Amino acid sequence: MSIDTVVFDIGGVLVTGASIGSMLNGAGIQYGENERRYWLQVKVGEITEDEFFRALLKDESLVETAKNDLRKYIQSAAKGPAYELACKVQERGMHRGIISNHVAPWAYGSLKAVGVDKVFEGFPILISDEVGLAKPDRRIYELALERLKKPAENCVFIDDKQRNVDSAREVGMKAVLCKDKETVYKELRALGLEV
């Protein structure tokens, strides 16, 4: 079967500057091991965005300021290495989707900031905090396939982390590690997909 569906990650793929570390740093919060623990909880919806900031800041009066700073930082996101590819996939009328470990308002904000949100209108967008699953858990890929209504072998997943690429392959999807734009196109051609 040929590939007719492309599934993208957000941070480091469609958008740059959307990693949790860079976003928190942009909001004036250092990202370390303690913050990572709370990130692991908020990204799957175990705690809310407000609870996340309260845990990090320990000062209730700073929560709204930090959230606003983060939203401003998100607005400065830049187009990622697969941005152009997503637009080409749309132009060709191919199926597409998103699987991202993110907090929904931040994810949608970064997609909108670079103007790629409209490319995915009407297609499945799985944000980890909304679905309660995160990559590399194979269940998030299985859920994406279910929502796409596509067999795994018809789909290619593009991510900037090897462990997530490996997990996608384990469920039968093709997968490409996004290092840069040229590498993504080269890998897709090797899979028989000319875009």
Q: How does pLDDT run across 16-57, given as a tens digit for each residue?
A: 975 677 777 777 788 888 888 999 999 999 999 889 888 888
Let me know if residue 195 belongs to a domain. no
H/E run at residue 176:
strand 174-177
Query: Which range marks the domain in which residue 49 is found?
Result: 20-75
Answer yes or no: do 66 and 102 share one domain. no
Domain count, the chain: 2
Question: pLDDT band at 9, cuts 50/70/90?
Answer: very high
Which residues contact residue 121 at a Cβ distance below 8 angstroms, ignoring those fewer than 6 apart? none
The strands making up 174-177's β-sheet, listed across from edge to edge, are 125-127, 95-100, 5-8, 155-159, 174-177
Answer yes or no: do 33 and 98 share one domain. no
Let me know if residue 69 belongs to a domain. yes
Q: At what angle do helices 83-91 and 181-190 cross, to 10 degrees?
A: 40
Answer yes or no: do 151 and 121 share one domain. yes
Answer yes or no: do 69 and 109 share one domain. no
pLDDT tens column, 108-155 = 999 999 999 999 999 999 999 999 999 999 999 999 999 999 999 999
Answer yes or no: do 52 and 100 share one domain. no
Let me know if residue 172 belongs to a domain. yes
Burial category of 143 from C-beta neighbours within 10 Å (exposed 0-12, middle 13-18, buried 19 and up): middle
Tell me which amino acid residue 59 is. D
Q: What does the DSSP 8-state code read for residue 19?
A: S
Question: pLDDT band at 85, cuts 50/70/90?
Answer: very high
Q: At what angle do helices 49-57 and 33-42 cross, to 10 degrees?
A: 170
Separation between Cα atoms, residue 73 and residue 158, nearest integer Å:
24
Let me know if residue 173 belongs to a domain. yes
Answer yes or no: do 70 and 118 share one domain. no
